[in-house]
Structure 1
């Protein structure tokens, strides 16, 4: 790719070993950036890091001390993409307290931990870009996804709050909200019906005006835009990348 929007910049990506995180790592590296891949699967993080000429670290984003240590080790960071996430598909009565805590810990507190680790650095250096990952159902809700809906709604408002708090220091915080994307989280059956092509297409037809599932690279393109200087006057935004789901 001839565009070099990230030349001289370091992007730290949590959940960077697969799916949207890995696609974002490839996109930013293609645009000249140095990529730091963080994932609880350390071997997979190293593999993607080797592919894109970056660095890989094993990181469980629910561990604040480890997150702080990784950021300290990395040193210069200009972009944070907080893409680590898990899902449980069920109603409140059928979601166990342990499942609830896991979803909130990874999908919401993990974002807090990652942002807490980089924000003092961003403020001190006079700027930085944070891109968080929500979901269409962080905005509109969905059946049998109570914990995930709650966590992703929290991510969206946390992002808005960080944009307001740290904008005067030159820090931008934005969020992408994908629809159904062809990722391991979907394809491994974490979403009900994902292992049935007919059921998956029915979900796509119900939610997506474009009539197809999205690709991680399409979300990565939106993330790269928000993380780049092309979005220099954008902060506190929730950008749907959902084929029209939330337009309904």
Structure 2
């Protein structure tokens, strides 16, 4: 295996301060890429970017002007962006009647519209340079649904079909767009027990037992490995795919 798959490439990663985003930043940097870590926690993004020999920016993906500004700054400083990993996300656990309009807007704004903003900002550059790779992050429950996660399910299903649409629209531009759909992953959200709308950490293990054929929670590095594959030239003939990294959840 070529362990320097991203040598000479610049990767912009949103939601890079923790969890899957941070693991992906580390994986791509380890494979020779220049990582631009972007997160609404700008301090954490700058620390991680510096640690990995790249850059870090404060970015709230719900702000289209700031997203354009960051992409412009990165392009001006580093010449181009070759990979976008859109990993920023939030969650609210509840049913439709119990989800407030404000919560609904927040989830859709970050988890779906934020992906649109990020992709819309990088695509002109990708088209101009003749190619690029986009990897978005959905969820097992963007495919099959789950109780008490109405807004999150809706947003992640939207991410999957948005990714397919971009793959169809821009394949002839040399651009690949793919999606990774994780199961339960050991991120800060899960470690804090905030799953299924419950504060009980035992709720997480109950979901693992119910959904994961492998019988354990996943690690961010396992998702990062799949993201790195899809973003690399090893996946040069793959576009429009939704790759489950879910321990068999959606096989049921």
Secondary structure, counterpart of 1:69 in structure 2 = helix
Contact 2:195 2:204 in 1 (8 A): no
Q: TM-score, normalised by structure 2?
A: 0.96
Q: Per-residue deviation at 1:206?
A: 0.4
Task: Mark the runs of 5 or more structure 2 residues left unpaired by the alignment.
Answer: none
Distance 1:244 1:20, change over 3 A: same
Q: Per-residue deviation at 1:72?
A: 0.5
Q: Per-residue deviation at 1:185?
A: 2.0
Contact 1:193 1:199 in 2 (8 A): no
Structure 1 match to 2:185: 181
Q: TM-score, normalised by structure 1?
A: 0.97
Q: Which string of whole-angstrom CA distances, capped at 9 and with x for unpartnered residues, describes residues 111-169 of structure 1?
A: 00000000000011000000000000000000000000000000000000000000000
Contact 1:127 1:171 in 2 (8 A): yes
**Alignment partner of 1:111 is 2:115:** yes
Secondary structure, counterpart of 1:190 in structure 2 = coil
Secondary structure, counterpart of 2:11 in structure 1 = strand
Q: Hey, what's the Cα distance between the residues in 1 that align with 2:95 and 2:198?
A: 18
Q: Per-residue deviation at 1:195?
A: 5.0
Structure 2 match to 1:171: 175
CA RMSD, Structure 1 to Structure 2 (Å) = 1.3
Q: Hey, what's the Cα distance between the residues in 2 that align with 1:79 and 1:198?
A: 37
Size of the aligned set, in residue pairs, is 248
Q: Per-residue deviation at 1:186?
A: 1.6
**Alignment partner of 1:214 is 2:223:** no
Distance 1:29 1:194, change over 3 A: farther
Q: How does 1:31-50 map to 2 (within 5 A)?
A: 31-50=31-50
Task: Mark the runs of 5 or more structure 1 residues left unpaired by the alignment.
Answer: none
Q: Hey, what's the Cα distance between the residues in 1 that align with 2:48 and 2:193?
A: 23
Structure 1 match to 2:63: 63
Q: Hey, what's the Cα distance between the residues in 2 that align with 1:89 and 1:183?
A: 16
Equivalent position to 1:81, from 77, 82, 85:
85
**Alignment partner of 1:161 is 2:165:** yes
